[in-house]
Structure 1
């Protein structure tokens, strides 16, 4: 749970930057890759990150611009650009619309009572969860996976380093 706006903003900027790298690596062809039949496609996961940004936080009382389009674009670049735009709007909204003191205020969300600080925490963990799913589907789609918390297998190989087991 976050107790300061600055704490959230600093961590989210880092995490959103990692998410942006993955989104920027997607190709139009990769967007239809499924993990397995009946599961979200890579494009649906990527677009969910754009609309996740708006959904949970707007319900929590923040106001910022989000794409009006509900269906995912067919262009990987359009998804990546939308995420970039929503992320900047979200950060500006958190910085200007909430205060450190307000992070301890309770709100009702998803049938539960959460503090605003907890909303920010769960929001970020939700994004990280889906980002992890994306890396698996990216590998299946043949898209080079970018390391998030350390080098990916592809990056280890590019460095000429032995791939750790």
Structure 2
């Protein structure tokens, strides 16, 4: 349902996209973790872990005003999961934290600036609501799309995300 609340619209979109992302992650075969479709590509497991770790990064947009990639004390994701069960548990944990923080936020808070930078080099300086949409949701959806290509190349049925996939017809 449409609402004029930026925060509520982001939450609704997040709810949908998290459900779809989990469906893709459930199909990632850990036994093929090292698979790469190209030498410049991330491995299957690196990509799946990145998709999950982006949730913690997205939470920073809600809970902080900036993130410096050069800050050695900045929050970092935990160690690389060593099984699909660990990956899904981290996904569920990070999803719950992101939802909780976004639910506790407000439309007014979504207008506050978030600056993403590497020292003096500013990568992104926009309102938090925009940061969540562009660097958060869009970034995650992009990598989830890459993950579905890996699944296709490995001949693993791809779930339909916005309607049925070729595997579901």
Category of TM-score, reference length = shorter chain: 0.7 to 0.9
Q: How far is the alpha carbon of 1:14 from its aligned partner?
A: 0.3
Provide the aligned C-alpha RMSD in A: 2.1
User: Which one has more relative contact order, counting CA pairs under 8 Å at least 6 apart?
Assistant: 1
Deviation per residue, 1:41-86 (Å, 9 max, x gap): 111111001211112432x3527xx98523x223122112211211
- The residue that corresponds to 2:84 in the other structure is 76
- The residue that corresponds to 1:100 in the other structure is 107
- The residue that corresponds to 1:91 in the other structure is 99
- The residue that corresponds to 1:159 in the other structure is none
Q: How many residues align?
A: 150
TM-score normalised according to structure 2 size: 0.80
TM-score normalised according to structure 1 size: 0.82
Unaligned stretches of 5+ residues in structure 1? 157-165
Deviation per residue, 1:124-159 (Å, 9 max, x gap): 000100010000001122321111112111111xxx
Query: Is 1:133 aligned with 2:146?
Result: yes
Unaligned stretches of 5+ residues in structure 2? 65-74
Aligned 1:30-69 pairs, distance under 5 A: 30-58=32-60, 60=61, 62=63, 68-69=77-78
Give the ranges of 4+ consecutive aligned residues of structure 1 lying more than 6 Å apart after TM superposition: none
